[in-house]
Chains A and B, each alone.
Chain A
Amino acid sequence: MPLLPTLMRTTAARLSALFLLLFAICAVVLVLYLTSLSSRMLTTQTRETIIEEVQSLDRAYQRGGLALLVRTIGLRSRQPGANLYLIADPAGQILAGNVESLDPAILGEEGWTELPFTYQRYGEFQQPDAGERPAPHYAIALVMRLPNGMIALVGRDLGEPERQRDVVRQALMLAIGMTALSGLAIWFFVGRRALKRIDGMSEASRRIMEGDLSQRLPVSGSGDEFDRLSENLNAMLAKIAALNKGLKQVSDNIAHDLKTPLTRLRNRAEEAMARNDADAYRDALAATIHNSDQLIRTFNAILTISRLEAGRTSPDMLAPVSLAETVRDVLELYEALAEEKGVALVADTPTDAVVEGSRELIAQALSNLVDNAIKYARRGDGAAKVVLRLEADEREIRLSVADNGPGIPEAMDRERATERFVRLEASRTEPGSGLGLSIAKAVMTFQRGELRLAPGDPGLIVVMAFPRSRERP
């Protein structure tokens, strides 16, 4: 049967089979327990009846002696559905009653018979040629020895064991039938509904793998485990899609931004080759080297950003960094440049703040911001000025660079400014790889902080915000 193994491979079928088995075991145990309990109750009840009977017989014996007792027993034993009565002489010879035969050993011991015994009721052998032995009866009885040595037995039939077994069998059949039904119900609900949803998920993932990243896993809205799984996977997919989109945009931007200098490089070489002049050659070669260096720098910047975004680091890189010291260092590095460009570069660091991070990366981010600020401050009205400020409150530490240049008036443009290679139209003419802000942003993401662009009055304020939790006491 190839169908069964195939069917058993589905979780629904396996789960249903397991439940079915468990339920069946439970049902059988329950039925057996109830049966034994009820048979025990029946025995107790029977014994009580027998004792009552014995008491009534005892009264007859007291009143009329053995003769009345035998008569009473003879009378009672002929009633339909009667109890069992037996009077035997000390040798075990049956004198009266409705029991025709029984194991003599039973009469040998006084008191309650331990176990139900079999006996033949009087008159059941009236058709001996019927050939068929009637089914034996089960009974329990009280055996008493009378003062004159005679043995009296009063018992009660427990019914045919066959019938008892039938009752149990029926109960078992019913229990197993119910279990099978509930197994089917489980298979239907688990298989049809829950596991169908898993099938739906794998179907959606297959389509995603085939390249359709816009596909999402189904969410039923019930908020159950499957929904939570789907929601998380969907969030992951959204992130992957965003990264993918980012990657595509980056490669487009790289292609675009590197094509220009590469074309220039090639044109210049071609142009120099056309001229047969040693000086032209030398100039062209020098320019080629210069442009190649620029390209290498751009590549290195892209590599830095990707590494930071991948979050790759070793514990070597992380150490307590004094931000005030970093400000001093960067200020010193840029002071000469600012002075040359006629920009006042000042720092306002009333207190120091120490963050856990990379001194190198924080300095790189800050110097990129200062670099930009110096560039743009000069394009504003009035005396160009760049202010580095270090502030801290209980929530975060902010290291900001403010210039009084033209700023970025549109909020949307400020958002876009930190994207890789994005150089707002107005700044297309400035030199630079266009990666300075992107690097700063990547550094802040790596530091678990944030890079914020806010409008100044006038100009632009770029804030490196470090969360407090990363700070060392």
Chain B
Amino acid sequence: MSGMKILVIEDDRDAADYLQKAFTEAGHVAHVAGDGDTGFALAESGGYDVMVVDRMLPRRDGLSLIAALRSQGKATPALILSALGEVDDRVTGLRAGGDDYLAKPYAFSELLARVEALSRRGGAREAETVYRVGDLELDRLSREVRRAGRDITLQPREFRLLEYLMRHAGQVVTRTMLLENVWDYHFDPQTNVIDVHVSRLRGKIEKGFDKPLLHTVRGAGYMLKA
């Protein structure tokens, strides 16, 4: 996907450098702020697609920084990074105006996928009633799925799974993102139950068609792409 402008507000120098390098390698532009005040000033001046905010920051903590931005009407999507990493922390983080939450230690592929998913937030996709990827079509109102004119019957949960994948078509979607957004659970299942659901869905939308749509991205997750 085209490069995004990402603001990383993180006081750990090593972690910030690593993130900057990794985001750059992924084709994005990343700026780093080492404390809450600098981060707030940069975020205020705007122009960022997404910000990654560490929760514990010198001078101004991550949550109050986001809350202050939101009260000024700045809607830049924010992902909160936290070493605390519990469900209740997530709740307070999201309540403060954060859009997503990731606990340390995390895999960069997970962070990247989430950041990329966030950047599309508030865009046209939310409003569209019909999603199209190649010859696959999903009608969000009539809840019908069609591929090349042929009806595909899905269970309610499979429909939600496909809907989420289609909303983020062309982006990597991780297993945890699916569990969170489709099942509304934030824990880590012992076995990757999501894989089984995805392969079932894949069977339904790809069986009888030549072109694969649902791709597995090794070490990261899945991507729906024509």
Contacts and interface: CB of A to CB of B under 8 A. Distances in A.
Contacts of B109: 289
Contacts of B14: none
Interface string A414-439: 00000000000000000111001000
Interface string A332-346: 111011001000000
Interface in A357-389: 358, 360-361, 363-364, 367-368, 371-372, 374-375
A101 interface: no
Interface stretch (B5-13, B18-26, B71-79, B83-91): B83-91
B222 to A, nearest CB: 15
A293 interface: yes
Contacts of A340: 196
Interface stretch (A11-19, A79-87, A295-303): A295-303
Nearest to A318: B88
Contacts of B107: 289, 292-293, 296
Given A293-B107, A358-B87, A336 B200 contact: yes
A304 B189 CA distance: 13
Contacts of B196: 336-337, 340
Contact of A297 (B88, B183, B188, B219): B188
Nearest to B155: A332
B197 interface: yes
Given A293-B219, A317-B87, A360 B200 contact: no
- Which has the most chain B C-beta neighbours within 10 Å: A312, A332, A333? A333
Contacts of B185: 329, 333, 360, 363-364
Nearest to A287: B219
Nearest to A317: B88
A363 B187 contact: yes
A292 B107 CA distance: 8
A130 B87 CA distance: 108
Given A290-B219, A293-B107, A371 B88 contact: no
Contacts of A368: 189-190
The interface size bin for chain A is 35 or more
Contact of A332 (B85, B157, B186, B218): B157
Contacts of A300: 85, 103, 105, 188
- Which has the most chain A C-beta neighbours within 10 Å: B103, B106, B189, B197? B189
Contact of A367 (B88, B186, B189, B218): B189
Contacts of A307: 86
B193 interface: yes
Contacts of B187: 304, 360-361, 363-364, 367
Interface in A267-293: 286, 289-290, 292-293
Interface residues of B, number: 26
Nearest to B200: A336
A329 B189 CA distance: 13
Interface in B182-215: 183, 185-191, 193, 196-197, 200
A296 B88 contact: no
B92 interface: yes
Nearest to B103: A300
Nearest to B220: A289
Contacts of B157: 332
Interface string A306-330: 0100001110110000000000010
Nearest to B198: A336
A336 B85 CA distance: 29
Contacts of A286: 218-219
A431 B188 CA distance: 15
A442 to B, nearest CB: 12
A336 B105 contact: no
B210 to A, nearest CB: 25
B88 A316 contact: yes
Given A286-B218, A286-B219, A336-B200, A314 B88 contact: yes
B88 A336 contact: no
Nearest to A290: B219
Nearest to B182: A333
Contacts of A361: 87, 187
Contacts of B200: 336
B219 A337 contact: no
Given A316-B91, A316-B92, A363-B185, A337 B191 contact: yes
Interface in B167-195: 183, 185-191, 193
B92 A314 contact: yes
Nearest to B89: A314
A317 B91 contact: yes
Contacts of A436: 190
B218 A313 contact: no
Given A286-B219, A361-B187, A436-B190, 6 more contacts: A313-B88, A314-B88, A337-B193, A364-B187, A367-B189, A372-B190
Interface of A: 286, 289-290, 292-293, 296-297, 299-301, 303-304, 307, 312-314, 316-317, 329, 332-334, 336-337, 340, 358, 360-361, 363-364, 367-368, 371-372, 374-375, 431-433, 436
Interface of B: 85-88, 91-92, 103, 105-107, 109, 157, 183, 185-191, 193, 196-197, 200, 218-219
17 contacts: A286-B219, A289-B107, A300-B103, A312-B86, A317-B87, A317-B88, A329-B185, A333-B183, A333-B189, A336-B196, A360-B185, A363-B185, A364-B187, A368-B189, A371-B189, A371-B190, A436-B190
